[in-house]
Chain A
Amino acid sequence: MIFGLPIGFTAPWVLVALIALPVLWLILRAIPPAPIRRRFPGVVLLLGLTDEDTVTDRTPWWLLLLRMLAVAAVIVGLAGPILNPQTREAGSGPLLILMDGSWASAPDWDARRDMVTALLDEAARDGRVTAVQRLSAPEPLLFLQADAWKSRMAGVVPMAWAADAAVMAAFAETLDAADEFDTVWLSDGVTREGREDLLAALQDKGAVRVVQTGRGAMALMPPGYEDGKLVMTAQRSEVVLAQEVTALAIGTDPGGAEQVLASLPLVFEAGAQSSENALVLPSELRARLTRFEIAGVRSAGAVALSDDSLRRREVALIAGREDREGLQLLSPLHYLRQALVPTADVIEGALTDILPANPDVIVLADVAVLSEGETAAMIDWLENGGLLLRFAGPRLAASEISRTEEDPLLPVRLRAGGRSVGGAMSWGEPKSLAPFDVESPFYGLAVPDEVTVTAQVMAQPDPTLAERVIASLSDGTPLVTRKAVGQGQVVLMHVTANAEWSGLPLSGLFVQMLDRLAVLSAVGEEAEARLAGTIWQPLKVMDGFGRLQDAQTLPGVSGEVLAEGRAGPDVRPGLYRAGEQVLAVHVLDAEAELAPATWPVSVPVEGLRGAVSTDLSGYFLAAALVILALDVVASLFVSGRLWGARVAVIALALMVPASEGFAQEAALTSAHTREMVLGHVRTGNREVDDIALAGLRGLSNVLYFRTSVEPEDPVTVDLETDELAFYPFLYWPITPDQPSPSREAYAKLNAYLRSGGMILFDTRDSDVARFGASSPTGRKLQKLAAGLDIPPLDPLPEDHVLTRTFYLLQDFPGRYMSRDVWVEAAPADAEKIEGMPFRNLNDGVTPVVIGGNDWGAAWAVDTRGNTLFPVGRGRAGERQRELAYRFGINLIMHVLTGNYKSDQVHVPALLDRLGQ
């Protein structure tokens, strides 16, 4: 360290040479600048003249200073300055490099890896054997040559979880067998349980040194849902400074591509450990959410995945009996509403109104009969994945529905009348629930004793009955039955939705059952109970950097383990699926708190050295060179030799690159405004572009020879950068792989089309394909044209003005001869007047002409006027090329003159020509 700066020198004694600088100053001052030798015949007249001023012409002080600086820079550069010098003594014995390897170390993983590499280099120099260990994925200690570890470093990546106390304890135990070693611990800066014990174990073995960043870790907590708002919480471990980060809500757009749907600022006050902000998203957007992440933080901790808990299911409630007004507790829907409102969007209304809203779930409480139309609509909805949850009740029991034949909207056939047990007029006791079967979706839920059933509707025994029962009473009679309809399902609770027939709606089990049926989208308090007995298949898991990876090959995880909510090697953070439900496991569970790691005073803690000892001598020597170059100019200036040409050269060298582009562009554009120029759209395919340009060259030539249109050389138009207004006509050959224009380019194109420009689209494939999406270029054309303001199209009608703007034509061949040429459709009211050869059509120019005849190739000529591509065979081919040129001329005439030739004035002459 020199003067408190983190600079050291490899050869500090060289700096002694700086003492010589003042001496050098004096010497340089004494020596005048070198004389200029001049040839001068008049010298004879000078002979004998003496200088009046005997003092030498001194070098100016600033030039001296410049030279001093150069010399000083050389001296300092040679002394080998080093930024952040390593002053540590070389160690000996084995070295353990211990990395936390958690999600929290992912953001600066590169720096950590550099650090480890530097440590390995150092160890290699000192001849120490080393071991690199990640606590998040501990392996048996393996001390190897440092170089061996260096080659393995590429595979050492952070994990999406952090080591817990158990892992650390297990690792500490494996240390006992090892010999003495020193440890460098690259900590992620987050406090963890069990770390002290491990530290003690390590200190038993040798010196421990801790390296951690001052930046701390930042994590996004699982998103919550309160009062219709998404609540995002972020935590950080270093709390000193105020900080603002942005949380991005990322989801899929309707096309399936990933997109940022919303962003949300999260502001940490100085000293605040967490920050919270709420986000209101329309439910449509909410349904498309896939994850949240903190912008710019590359860590699994900064990603919060979205699962069912954020999806609010839409549940429609329909009750059959609403005649007992005022008796709210007896309402069949009361308990359902209570259970659903906190976690789902409840809609109520008539079935015909509800079905178009396509709710996720429809609950029919004691509704017996639906009309035929309603039934059909309901079956449609079910087939598309709806869930119909029906509750029994007096009406259902009394109705004749599903007696002899199974109703499509009921899972089982029902016996008439139902039964009641344990009532005042019956014998037996009220029945309790039987434990849930392993196959049942309710498996794992605890059955409380107090839930009893006094009345139920009875299912008729059927061959399919056994497999449709998912819950039954203690006497084996079905309580809940289910059947699949298409992608959806119908579930029947054989009791009422209120407390009339059973105590079930009063118990917590009711809510849990609804949850298991995926009626609820809730999570929450009783996660353990909810998840008990289920097996969850990992869908996608995160790596340490927060990237989602496919996880179909990982084994399933039982609900109990998931319920602990602690991420680890067995429960990787990510998305898990069981049946219809999707659950996200986050790096941090909702209760976790980030706190900075604290280390005992005995352990030296260092920052992560970003740039480990930079050698500065190169910079100093380069600076010396630059100063010397300046000195050349300055010396020239002082001695009066910096004049004329040299100054001009330097000034020119500085000025030239700046101004060229503008001039060229302006010149080009102004040339295009003077004369008419044909243009083609750049496709990015060199060959196609060349052909298009050559084609337009051929067409321009023909126009020049035959008509009064005298175009300049054609140009290639770049939709993104060029102004289109100068080109009345654009030829756009389609290639399957050309990029779609940007939004701005589309805006330009639309303005161009609306203001009278014409684009000739050419799919160049009518030898093999017809108009439409049957070919790759056709499909590309559809994609390209989707953003364009194109009117309805028609095949080119026989009386279209294009058939007679210059030549009388009926075919429009290019290199191929297809009649599929499409133009703007004629207005519906265009009528043919008796005796006239054509209809009185609309004014204006068709903005697009679409075909696939590869006109460009037919027109194409090289600079000497030779055709480039054969068309057809022999004389017939030449005729076809001629017709192609005529079509081109007609097209340009149409662009330039509009519907002039539609004018009825021309009718007699045209009739004459047509031979009528």
Chain B
Amino acid sequence: MSAAPYLRSQAEAEAASLPPLLAHAEHLAGTVLLGEHGRRRAGMGDDFWQYRPVQPGDSLRHIDWRRSAKSDAQFVRQREWQVAQSVMMWVDTAPSMLFASEKDTPQKADRARLLALALAILLIRSGERVGLTGTELPPRRGELQIMRLAEVFLRNDADGEIPDYGTPESRAMLPHARAVFISDFMGDFETVQMALTKAADRGVMGACLQILDPAEEDFPYKGRAVFESMGGSVSHDTKKADDLKVRYLERLAERQAALKDLCRTTGWLYGHHSTGQSAQSALLWLHQALERRA
């Protein structure tokens, strides 16, 4: 038997899931693109930005004679700054992200991929280079990169034992690039700390978006229960789950505060998103976080 049917069905399955994610991401990106403008700074680029009076040091080549002829002063025509930024993303794909408390709330991983891809679309449309942290998919520009990203997001590489909680990938970060980490940050806090400090060392700034399920934020459980992590590696037995609620929420707040602190010290931005809310606000926040003047 040839591998062709298998390949074919795989391909079809892949192709079937790709368009919805892409379409969703495009759609989501479309809502943000409207009304957005360029860099709003003079710089290298193709688009006209402004005329400014000639200052000492300006080369004669830069004088716009057509504009200068209209008045007594001479003007230099500036183009909008269009230097391409590299944005690297890390999207947590650990099993803990596969959690969804209700049938109609999406998995955290789904939401994370959607946000990442939509952000990538936005950035690529505005000429940035987008890639993933690590060595798998370095930042590139162009529409094709969107496809590559989507492909990587949808790849199901569940080979071998995957730890329940993800650790941020901070290798091969370009200096002074931008980075986006999307995760539930439920895993080991040390790794996050290491990754962020390493990034700060390289001058990489960016945003952390913590995605949580509503159940993780509210802890609506009661009665006797055994809580297990998604892979079953960690479990906790309680006789009265409702008793734990307050203390759980305290701990969650603690962790969020720690994360926020870490972000502040490293110059990153900390965002927080619940899968119960719409993806659009999160995308808007992400986009604006990256717009931030470096």
Tell me if B186 counts as interface (CB < 8 A to partner A).
yes
B219 touches A42 (CB 8 A): yes
- Write out, one digit per residue, whether chain A residues 42-83 have a CB within 8 A of any chain B CB (1) or not (0): 111111010111101100000000000000000000000000
B227 touches A57 (CB 8 A): no
Contact of B223 among A36, A43, A49, A53 (CB under 8 A): A36
Tell me if B222 counts as interface (CB < 8 A to partner A).
yes
Tell me if A37 counts as interface (CB < 8 A to partner B).
yes
Q: How far is the CA of A32 from the CA of B223 in the complex (A)?
A: 10
B236 touches A47 (CB 8 A): yes
A49 touches B99 (CB 8 A): no
A36 touches B226 (CB 8 A): yes
- Interface set, chain A 25-48, CB cutoff 8 A to B: 32-47
CB-CB under 8 A from B229, the residues of chain A are 39-41, 43-44
- Interface set, chain B 240-294, CB cutoff 8 A to A: 240, 243-244, 247-248, 251-252, 255
CB-CB under 8 A from A52, the residues of chain B are 240, 243
- Interface set, chain A 86-102, CB cutoff 8 A to B: none
- Interface set, chain B 80-133, CB cutoff 8 A to A: 96-97, 99
Tell me if B165 counts as interface (CB < 8 A to partner A).
yes
CB-CB under 8 A from B215, the residues of chain A are 40, 42
A639 touches B243 (CB 8 A): no
A42 touches B216 (CB 8 A): yes
CB-CB under 8 A from A35, the residues of chain B are 224-226, 237
CB-CB under 8 A from A639, the residues of chain B are 223-224
CB-CB under 8 A from B230, the residues of chain A are 39, 41
A53 to chain B, nearest CB (A): 6
Closest to A45 in B: B251
B227 to chain A, nearest CB (A): 4
B186 to chain A, nearest CB (A): 5
Closest to A46 in B: B236
B228 touches A39 (CB 8 A): yes
B216 touches A53 (CB 8 A): no
Tell me if B239 counts as interface (CB < 8 A to partner A).
yes
A38 touches B225 (CB 8 A): yes
Q: How far is the CA of A605 from the CA of B234 in the complex (A)?
A: 78
Contact of B216 among A36, A37, A41, A51 (CB under 8 A): A41
Q: How far is the CA of A38 from the CA of B219 in the complex (A)?
A: 12
Closest to B100 in A: A39
B113 to chain A, nearest CB (A): 17
Q: How far is the CA of A42 from the CA of B230 in the complex (A)?
A: 10
Tell me if A255 counts as interface (CB < 8 A to partner B).
no
CB-CB under 8 A from B224, the residues of chain A are 32-36, 56-57, 639
Contact of B239 among A40, A41, A43, A57 (CB under 8 A): A57
Tell me if A155 counts as interface (CB < 8 A to partner B).
no
A39 touches B247 (CB 8 A): no
CB-CB under 8 A from B234, the residues of chain A are 43-44, 47
Q: How far is the CA of A40 from the CA of B213 in the complex (A)?
A: 10
CB-CB under 8 A from A38, the residues of chain B are 221, 225-228
Tell me if B17 counts as interface (CB < 8 A to partner A).
no
A33 to chain B, nearest CB (A): 6
B227 touches A46 (CB 8 A): yes
- Write out, one digit per residue, whether chain A residues 9-34 have a CB within 8 A of any chain B CB (1) or not (0): 00000000000000000000000111
Looking at B230, B240, B255, the one whose CB has the most chain A CB atoms below 10 A away is B240
Tell me if A640 counts as interface (CB < 8 A to partner B).
yes
B247 touches A49 (CB 8 A): yes
Q: How far is the CA of A445 from the CA of B99 in the complex (A)?
A: 114
CB-CB under 8 A from A34, the residues of chain B are 224
B238 touches A46 (CB 8 A): yes
Q: How far is the CA of A37 from the CA of B227 in the complex (A)?
A: 6
Known: A35-B237, A51-B239. A45 touches B222 (CB 8 A): no
B100 to chain A, nearest CB (A): 10
Q: How far is the CA of A826 from the CA of B52 in the complex (A)?
A: 110
Q: How far is the CA of A45 from the CA of B222 in the complex (A)?
A: 17
Contact of B238 among A41, A44, A51, A640 (CB under 8 A): A51
Closest to B247 in A: A49
A47 to chain B, nearest CB (A): 6
B66 to chain A, nearest CB (A): 63
CB-CB under 8 A from A54, the residues of chain B are 239
Q: How far is the CA of A47 from the CA of B222 in the complex (A)?
A: 17
B38 to chain A, nearest CB (A): 40
Tell me if B135 counts as interface (CB < 8 A to partner A).
no
Closest to B252 in A: A45
Q: How far is the CA of A39 from the CA of B234 in the complex (A)?
A: 10
Known: A42-B216, A49-B236, A52-B243. A36 touches B225 (CB 8 A): yes
B156 to chain A, nearest CB (A): 19
Q: How far is the CA of A738 from the CA of B83 in the complex (A)?
A: 94
A40 touches B223 (CB 8 A): no
CB-CB under 8 A from A43, the residues of chain B are 227-229, 234-236
A640 touches B240 (CB 8 A): no
CB-CB under 8 A from B255, the residues of chain A are 45
- Write out, one digit per residue, whether chain A residues 610-646 have a CB within 8 A of any chain B CB (1) or not (0): 0000000000000000000000000000011000000
A701 to chain B, nearest CB (A): 48
Tell me if B169 counts as interface (CB < 8 A to partner A).
no
CB-CB under 8 A from B165, the residues of chain A are 41, 44
CB-CB under 8 A from B227, the residues of chain A are 38-40, 42-43, 46
Ordered by A's residue number, 7 sampled pairs between the chains whose C-beta atoms are within 8 Å are A39-B99, A41-B165, A43-B228, A44-B187, A46-B248, A52-B243, A56-B239
Known: A43-B235, A43-B236, A52-B240. 10 other contacts (CB 8 A): A36-B223, A36-B224, A38-B225, A39-B228, A39-B230, A43-B229, A44-B229, A49-B236, A51-B239, A57-B224
User: Across chains A and B, which 7 residue pairs bring their CB atoms closest together, nearest first?
Assistant: A41-B96, A43-B227, A35-B224, A45-B251, A40-B227, A46-B236, A42-B216
User: Which residues of A come within 8 Å of B, CB atoms?
Assistant: 32-47, 49, 51-54, 56-57, 639-640
